[in-house]
């Protein structure tokens, strides 16, 4: 059975895209079939996985606005077992374009996924840094959410709003939505701050927090500019080791 996981947090720069790309790649390297869906107008995941955004005919925008079948949009990547539904800046117009649509606009991605999702072990959705219609489409299409939390001051700030959005989505569109896990990211082990923040997050989310903490690692920030996941960029890096561990935890939690 496939598992659809939205990587979400309305804060920008917390590691959503880095996690989406590298968790997807790690799962694929474990032999899983993975579909990465980029639903952020900035299309960082699309670029980070090595797809040229300027050469795309069809993107997730077409699935959401035109009901274009996902099978016509999905492209395979250089990583065996990993495919992507790419995005580009067109997505920025979705909110306005669908503003006149009375019903069903939150279910567009969910409906598009129905015909495809059973072909994959995992579907990972890289969400935009906003709690708008695109994020709602992602949460409505998902079985669970993975929340990256940056080990910084104010880490928990904004999470109440995110949890309220998850509750609202459960109530209105997707009663089966669960919290898959909370991931601590960008830990700087040279400071006490990161340790304190991670303790605070664990106190709040308890066993939902993954054992692995993603360290601040320069290789993780360099890899996307080469269009590479961390394993193809530098598989010996601390970042690669951490995301490999995360993938193992995700697989273990899902019993497959």
The footprint of Mg ion (CB under 5 A) covers 16-17, 44
Told to check if 216 binds ligand ADP by CB under 6 A, we report yes
Told to check if 220 binds ligand ADP by CB under 6 A, we report yes
Q: Please state the closest distance from residue 1 (CB atom) to Mg ion, in A.
A: 27
Told to check if 229 binds ligand ADP by CB under 6 A, we report no
Told to check if 4 binds ligand ADP by CB under 6 A, we report no
Told to check if 14 binds ligand ADP by CB under 6 A, we report yes
Cβ proximity to ligand ADP: between 81 and 224 the closer is 224
Cβ proximity to Mg ion: between 77 and 135 the closer is 135
SS (H, E, C) the chain: CCEEEEECCCCCCCCHHHHHHHHHHHHHHCCCCEEEEECCCCCHHHHHCCCCHHHCCCCHHHHHHHCCCHHHCCEECCCCCEEEECCCHHHHHHHHHCCCCCCCHHHHHHHHHHCCHHHCCEEEEECCCCCCHHHHHHHHHCCEEEEEEECCCCCCCCHHHHHHHHHHHHHHCCCCCEEEEEEEECECCCCHHHHHHHHHHHHHHHHHECCCCCECCHHHHHHHHHCCCHHHHHCCCHHHHHHHHHHHHHHHHCCC
Among 135, 136, 217, 237, binds ligand ADP (CB under 6 A): 217
List the interface residues with ligand ADP, window 121-150 (CB under 6 A).
129
Among 136, 140, 142, 185, binds ligand ADP (CB under 6 A): 185
Among 3, 8, 10, 16, binds ligand ADP (CB under 6 A): 16
Give the number of residues in contact with ligand ADP, rule: CB under 6 A. Answer: 18
Helix pair 159-172, 133-141: axis angle to 10 deg: 60
Q: How far apart are CA 124 and CA 180, in angstroms?
A: 12
Q: How far apart are CA 228 and CA 61, in angstroms?
A: 24
Cβ proximity to ligand ADP: between 16 and 108 the closer is 16
Q: Residues near 97 by Cβ (< 8 Å), separated by ≥ 6?
A: 65
Cβ proximity to ligand ADP: between 118 and 226 the closer is 226
Told to check if 59 binds ligand ADP by CB under 6 A, we report no
Beta bridge partner(s), residue 179: 145
Q: How far apart are CA 61 and CA 86, in angstroms?
A: 9
Question: Using CB distances below 5 to 8 A depending on partner kind, what does residue 229 bind out of ligand ADP, Mg ion, none?
Answer: none
Cβ proximity to Mg ion: between 11 and 16 the closer is 16
Told to check if 17 binds ligand ADP by CB under 6 A, we report yes
Cβ proximity to ligand ADP: between 133 and 151 the closer is 151
Told to check if 77 binds ligand ADP by CB under 6 A, we report no
Q: Please state the closest distance from residue 93 (CB atom) to ligand ADP, in A.
A: 20
Residues that bind ligand ADP in the complex, under the rule CB under 6 A: 12-18, 44, 129, 185-186, 214, 216-217, 220-221, 224, 239
């Amino acid at each position: 059975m496939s598992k659809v996981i939205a990587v979400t947090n309305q804060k920008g720069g917390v590691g959503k895209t880095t996690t989406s790309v590298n968790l997807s790649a790690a799962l694929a390297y474990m032999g899983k079939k993975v579909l990465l869906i980029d639903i952020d107008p900035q299309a960082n995941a699309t670029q980070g996985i090595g797809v040229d955004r300027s050469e795309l005919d069809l993107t997730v925008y077409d699935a959401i606005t035109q009901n274009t079948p996902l099978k016509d949009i999905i492209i395979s990547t250089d990583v065996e077992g990993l495919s992507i539904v790419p995005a580009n800046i067109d997505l920025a117009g979705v909110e306005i374009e669908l503003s006149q649509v009375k019903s069903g606009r939150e279910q567009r991605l969910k409906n598009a996924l129905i015909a495809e999702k059973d072909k994959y072990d995992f579907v990972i959705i890289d969400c935009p840094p906003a709690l708008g219609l695109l994020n709602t489409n992602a949460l409505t299409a998902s079985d669970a959410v993975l929340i990256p939390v940056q080990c910084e001051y104010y880490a928990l700030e904004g999470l109440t709003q995110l949890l309220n959005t998850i509750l609202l989505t459960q109530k209105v569109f997707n009663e089966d939505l669960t919290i898959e896990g909370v991931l601590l990211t960008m830990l700087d082990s040279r400071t006490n701050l990161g340790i304190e923040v991670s303790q605070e997050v664990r106190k709040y989310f308890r066993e939902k927090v993954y054992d692995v903490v993603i360290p601040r690692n320069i290789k993780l920030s360099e890899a996307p500019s080469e269009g590479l996941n961390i394993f193809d960029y530098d598989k010996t890096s601390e970042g690669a080791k951490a995301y490999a561990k995360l993938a193992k935890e995700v697989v273990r939690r899902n019993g497959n």
